[in-house]
Amino acid sequence: MTATFDWELSFGAAYRGDNRTRFRLWAPRQKKIGLEIDGRRAAVMDVQADGWFETEVSCEPGASYLYRLESGQAVPDPASRAQSDDVHGPSLVVDPASYHWRHADWQGRAWHEAVIYALHAGVYGGFAGVQGDLDRIAAIGITAIELMPINDFPGTRNWGYDGVLPFAPDRSYGSPDDLKALIDAAHERHLMVFLDVVYNHFGPDGNYLGSYAPDFFRNDIDTPWGAAIDFRQPTV
């Protein structure tokens, strides 16, 4: 038995089916935002309350898109689920329900059984390479793999700790479906999967939030990576 899952975010591109996609961006310091799909002329997004911009248009999974700021600068979606190339380029519309999970009934293992193997997907050449090594990993007694940060970072080689798009797996490692296939295959072998994540800063290269949502950051605290994230903001 297979199953599909779709956790709809309150922001970003959400595919609704029937060739309809909703786009939503928080840009409290902008008066207007344009949405460019597949390089076509920008459509003006509707202004919502509290700095939100939203629109729903005819658009299918796989389409590329950018947000056009008042300054004329084009930026990727901070809630991108996948990028067409790198962190500076267009984001891609993704349908999370397109993947059919083969082991949807996986319930994990007891914590005391955890023997965790931390690995870098890039060393394997990507998610498919990790998947190809799962039998060996399971055979030596490992019960869980921990993926070092996989969220999109600038370039193709990186430890992952200066990522800028937390919802998009880096394209050099594979697509969202490639990541799901890896997790599915791990569960088939009774291997748990953990993600190493970074939620306290963004990398300096490819982070465009300050251009249209400076409220995302504090102006009284700095970090080695730039201004601190302002977690006091409900939207943040």
The model's pTM:
0.95
- Dump pLDDT digits (tens) for 69-96: 999 999 999 999 999 999 999 999 999 9
Say which DSSP state 184 is in: H
What is the arithmetic mean of pLDDT over 164-168? Answer: 96
Amino acid identity of residue 119, one-letter, is: L
- Dump pLDDT digits (tens) for 192-207: 999 999 999 999 899 9
Percent of the chain, pLDDT > 90? 93
Alpha-carbon span 180 to 90, nearest angstrom: 22
What is the arithmetic mean of pLDDT over 39-62? Answer: 96
> Are the CB atoms for 175 and 98 separated by under 8 Å?
no
Confidence of residue 8 (pLDDT cuts 50, 70, 90): confident
Q: What tokens were used for 6?
A: 């779709």
